[in-house]
Chain A
Amino acid sequence: MEDYKYLFKIVLIGNAGVGKTCLVRRFAQGVFPNVQGATIGVDFMIKSLMVNDVKVKLQIWDTAGQERFRSITQSYYRSAHCLILVYDVFSQCSFDSLPQWCRDIDQYAGAAIAGNGRNVLKVLVGNKCDKDREVPLHIAEQFAHNNNFDLFMETSALEAENVEKLFREIAEILVSRNQESNGGTMSRSITSNSFNQSSKPSNCFNCFSN
């Protein structure tokens, strides 16, 4: 059933153990997984939303956080419409790693989404805000501002705080961007096209092609 108008690819990145998988599952399934093993490699979930009477499908990619796996995960977020950089408000260490992540974003996802002439939507999220914080809100806000994040939010996957709101706002921004750049007439196929183009099929080896 192709009943959606837009398909957006959202990729969550950030240090290991900041709650990326829990955020995705809280949003996509409405549950908080108590026993969620570390993500090895990548996974994704899909959830549909209605934004201004338009059906939007969000394809949310969840990546392994450890630096060692970045060469694998980077290949996934290079074609993203939106990157959510997650840190743990309870862990100063995860906040201190953000500059490195920002460099990664600039390096691998800096290219504009095909056709739109816009950079990837950058979102900063401080997760686990139900816990005692180590990272003050205003410091994080300042950081988000200085590093040109489009959106900053503190969430709690445990208590479902701001999770729905986070993804809804992202969807709204992406929809409005697409409608602007296409005079509001953009069809799904174009969106799908741009999605497909961004991950080049030429990466495959060229067997059977001659």
Chain B
Amino acid sequence: MSSPPETQDTESSQNQPYESTSHPMREEDNDDPQVEFCNLARRNLQRPSDHYNPPPRRTHIASRILREPWTTALTQFSKVTNLVLNPYEEYEGPTMADIRNTLRDPLGYVRQREEGATYGHHQMSNPAPMNHPPPALPPIDCSIPQQRVPPLTAEEYNQKYANAPRRVLLERIFQGGIQSNKLRRILWPTILCITEKYSLDWKDLNLVYTYYSNQWKTILPDQEARFTAYRERKSLIDRDVVRCDRTHSFYSESNPGNVEKLRQLLMTYIMYDFDTGYVQGMTDLAAPLLYVWDGDIPKAFWCFVQVMKLCKRNFEMSQLAIKNQLKALIKLVQITDPVFAQHLCSNESANCYFAFRWIICLFKREFMKRKTDDYHDCLIVWETIWSIHSLASLDDEDKQDMFLDQSLSPLLNQIGAIKRQYWSHEADNSDNSSNGIIELPDASTPSECGFPIIIPPPIDHTFSFVPKSGPQRICELKTVDEDVNEANCPENSPKSPVKTLPNAIPIKTTRLKLKTPPKPRPVCASSPRSPSRPSLMSTVLSPPVREMYSHPMPDNEFLFNSISSRSSSDEVKKSPVPVGKEATENRPLDSSDELKAYEFDHLADGSNSSVNKSGKLETLENIELFCLCISLAIIRRERDIILSRKYDSCAILKHFNTLHLNDCLNNILLHSMTIWHWLKHDGGEKSLYNDDEFKPSNTSVDDFDLLNDDDEVDCQNFAALAV
């Protein structure tokens, strides 16, 4: 942040006029006096309808007492309490608000914010008088205080965690993140379940990466012209990588090579998971990974694959998962802060679309340090998210299998099988062993690594394709017939990651003959998923089959089957089992017609609100739930500003869009952990899935659980809830 931490008190910082709220790094935002981001907010300052006080009652108190004696009595009592303890009008002023916020905030949340945070806003120039301080923020009733610790350093890791159990290490990272990129490169494979061990032999994974990457590198220009689905994905990537984080030194103008690497990573990913393809936001997720691996594409790629497994549902065509999360978010706000939920509702923000980018990009843009464009804070957030996912998987016995499947072990087992099979063939054809065979980057000699693979050389699409008249190489991976399909392959491009041995001559196809053609695996994004697929997938990864993979297989067919179904299997494993009508809705709608129909129906009944009154809240994945914890922590941090300035829907969106949170990283994460603990251990999750209808008078037992007897805030909270 360019501006020093503010020393002014809460009241004055809250009094900043909205027009001056933009990030310091975007000076241009404020240079033009004609640009007014949200003057609409001013208009609403005088509008009494936006006031956060509960609306007047409609029924007589006597009838309510008869109907709900307990609720009504408590409500009335709490009103009296509020009058005594929270008379805003009588005790107006910053001092009172400070005391109140401090008292009501068991986490010291507001207090810490006042000390160090700057809100990412300019210093106010013309503070508007605040009519009312915002209602107090109800505390989260978390039974065990959470704590943040400094990021894990290499020394601490060596001393305490090098031989510690996986859970201990994950808990440590959950509480503090990791200090340096060097240590990240050691620990990420563990956090991301690439391996269960601390060290990892990347050779095999590099091999598979090369396998995938050659699939797109060998698509010829004329083939591409007939391959619309591929072309669309490629075009999107090309447009996005050149504008992703270019202010970061790693991707700056002086490092164009890294942008190209990012492009290669994403292109390979679309071959890995063509159905998901490329969706905007993936660049944001991939860029910091490549930075941490310092441009090592295969390693960054596998981390990206694992990250995408965690949040792939957010990128599905139907967008159902993300809408479900937004729906859960407003429900969480409603449970923990009814006053603010009411404000959001009455300002057309109950759809929580302002949190869309947070969830898609895993809060990356909010936690980027704009001045130095440092990924560090964002990575600590991610490490917290990833490790809570792994921890929760460890806790949940039902998810043990899922955890195993998320590691790349099954994939590597397949590689082992291929190696052995190749090796046996090698023995039969040892005279041809080096002909036309391309050595893989990290592979040693074939006899040592045991896995030579014939790969057509990549094509540099920037050069026109000229058929070569010399010895022809067999592009085995493109073979679609039993007979040899020969393709002319140009010389290797300089940026090819694979080296071509000289004197390439035709080789016998009997060695690598494919019974089943490796269909352009990615057939088309619009191909509907076959209903039989899930069952296939579940068998692919079931333990007996997994064992089978460790033995040589009769032919290569399984390689393509298993690899191509791998991504889908994750989806099946990760998705909650759909029931009834949801089963059809949960299935990603691929055909654009279907999608249109879906969207139309969805919009017709749910309109622009993601809170569908009739829609049930789907069970959230742990990682989704923790992302919601962070979202809720951010919302709770900003709610005072929004309430006191009575922002309308536009102003709320603008406020959240221009948020930069790098100065309050630990506060946000601490608060998120508290919310997480409350959700998981103090009944929060139960109340989240309870009572899908938001009925104000329906005060459930869970609402009472939120109350602390001696805290006046809770009474007020309860009052608002019950009115």
Which residues in A have some Cβ–Cβ distance to B below 8 Å? 1-2, 7, 16-17, 28-31, 34-48, 57, 59, 64-72, 74-76, 78, 91, 93, 100, 103, 107-108, 192, 199-210
Contacts and interface: CB of A to CB of B under 8 A. Distances in A.
A57 B42 CA distance: 14
Closest 3 A/B residue pairs (Cβ):
A75-B608, A17-B239, A203-B609
B319 A29 contact: no
A199 B346 contact: no
Interface string B17-35: 0000000000011011011
B38 interface: yes
Contacts of B35: 28-29, 45-47
B75 interface: no
Contacts of A206: 613, 694
Given A1-B42, A16-B280, 20 more contacts: A16-B240, A29-B28, A29-B29, A31-B28, A37-B243, A40-B280, A40-B284, A40-B356, A41-B360, A46-B35, A46-B40, A57-B39, A72-B319, A76-B608, A78-B608, A203-B350, A204-B348, A205-B330, A207-B696, A208-B345
B240 A17 contact: yes
B602 interface: yes
Interface in B127-151: none
B653 interface: yes
7 contacts: A40-B357, A41-B353, A67-B592, A68-B315, A71-B603, A204-B350, A205-B694
A39 B653 CA distance: 14
B39 A70 contact: no
B224 to A, nearest CB: 12
A76 B523 CA distance: 34
A75 B676 CA distance: 31
B704 interface: no
B521 to A, nearest CB: 21
Q: Which of B315, B365, B607 has the most A CB atoms < 10 Å from its CB?
A: B607
Contact of B240 (A2, A7, A38, A207): A38
Interface in B542-564: none
A205 B42 contact: no
Given A29-B32, A203-B609, A208-B723, A37 B602 contact: no
Interface string B308-349: 000000010101000100000010001000100110111010
Given A37-B243, A108-B603, A1 B29 contact: no
B319 A40 contact: no
A208 B54 contact: yes
Contacts of B607: 75, 200, 202-203
A201 B243 contact: no
B611 A2 contact: no
Contacts of A44: 650, 653-654
A15 to B, nearest CB: 9
A167 B354 CA distance: 26
Interface string B94-136: 0000000000000000000000000000000000000000000
Interface of B: 28-29, 31-32, 34-40, 42-43, 54-55, 58, 231-232, 235-236, 239-240, 243-247, 279-281, 283-284, 315, 317, 319, 323, 330, 334, 338, 341-342, 344-346, 348, 350-351, 353-354, 356-357, 360-361, 365, 592, 596, 599-600, 602-603, 606-609, 611, 613, 649-650, 653-654, 657, 694-697, 723
Contacts of A74: 599, 603
Given A45-B35, A203-B350, A205-B611, A68 B342 contact: no
A202 B608 CA distance: 10
Contacts of A1: 39, 42
B694 to A, nearest CB: 4
A192 B608 CA distance: 20
- Residue of A31, A34, A40, A100 with highest tally of chain B CB at under 10 A: A40
B635 to A, nearest CB: 16
A192 B650 CA distance: 13
B43 A2 contact: yes
Contact of B245 (A30, A37, A47, A204): A37
A59 B650 contact: yes
Contacts of B235: 91, 93
Contact of A46 (B38, B239, B344): B38
Contacts of A202: 607
Nearest to A2: B43
Nearest to A65: B280
B317 A203 contact: no
B356 A210 contact: no
B346 A204 contact: yes
Given A37-B365, A66-B279, A207 B37 contact: no
A195 B172 CA distance: 51
B319 A38 contact: no
A73 B650 CA distance: 14
A205 B315 contact: no
Given A1-B39, A48-B36, A69 B280 contact: yes
A190 to B, nearest CB: 14
Contacts of A17: 236, 239-240, 243
A16 B239 contact: yes
B613 A42 contact: no
A37 B244 contact: yes
Contacts of A31: 28
A158 to B, nearest CB: 13
A125 B602 CA distance: 30
Contact of B39 (A37, A38, A46, A75): A46
A45 B606 CA distance: 27
Nearest to A49: B34
A135 to B, nearest CB: 15
Contacts of A200: 607
A108 to B, nearest CB: 7
A41 B240 CA distance: 15
A38 B351 CA distance: 22
Given A47-B34, A48-B34, A69-B280, A204 B243 contact: no
A71 B319 contact: yes
B240 to A, nearest CB: 5
| Residue of B54, B280, B344 with most partner-chain A CB within 10 A | B280
B517 to A, nearest CB: 29
Contacts of B29: 29
A45 B609 CA distance: 22
Given A71-B599, A199-B608, A204-B350, A46 B280 contact: no
B247 to A, nearest CB: 5
B694 A207 contact: yes
A203 B281 contact: no
A38 B281 contact: yes
